[in-house]
Amino acid sequence: MSLFDYFRSSRKSSASVAKERLKIIVAHERGRRGGPDYLPQMEEELLAVVRKYTRVGDDAVRVNLEKDQGFDVMEVNITLPERDED
């Protein structure tokens, strides 16, 4: 392994970070494409409800729409804050 390769592999390249982030956001945005216009608003209101009970980040609630034959499935993901292991 050359010195050049060593430096390259020692840290995750910024391009690979970019690729991972893009994959996630593009999948998310595709998931709601063609879905009803109320999704963003609903996401916001769900976030407000969750925040009544616990502290979460701005992107803690994710609503996705899966198209199935004959019916659509709405999937709501709520990411809770990391637990303090004490």
Partner 1 sequence: MARIIVVTSGKGGVGKTTSSAAISTGLAQRGYKTAVVDFDVGLRNLDLIMGVERRVVYDFVNVINDEAKLGQALIRDKRVENLYVLPASQTRDKDALTQEGVGKVLGQFAEDGFDYVICDSPAGIERGAQLAMYFADEAIVVSNPEVSSVRDSDRMLGILSSKSRRAEQDDEPIREHLLITRYQPERVDLGEMLSVEDVLEILSVPLLGVIPESEAVLQASNAGVPVIMESGSDAGQAYDDAVARLLGEERELRFVDARKKGFFSRLLGK
Which residues make up the interface to partner 1 (CB under 8 A)?
Answer: 8, 13-16, 18-19, 21-23, 25-26, 29-30, 33-34
Residue 14 or 69: which CB sits closer to partner 1? 14
Residue 30 or 51: which CB sits closer to partner 1? 30
Question: In sequence order, what are the residues at sequence separation of 6 or more whose Cβ sits closer than 8 angstroms to the Cβ of residue 76?
Answer: 46, 61, 62, 63, 64
As a whole number of angstroms, the distance between CA 79 and CA 24 comes to 15
Q: How far is the CB of 11 from partner 1 (least distance, A)?
A: 9
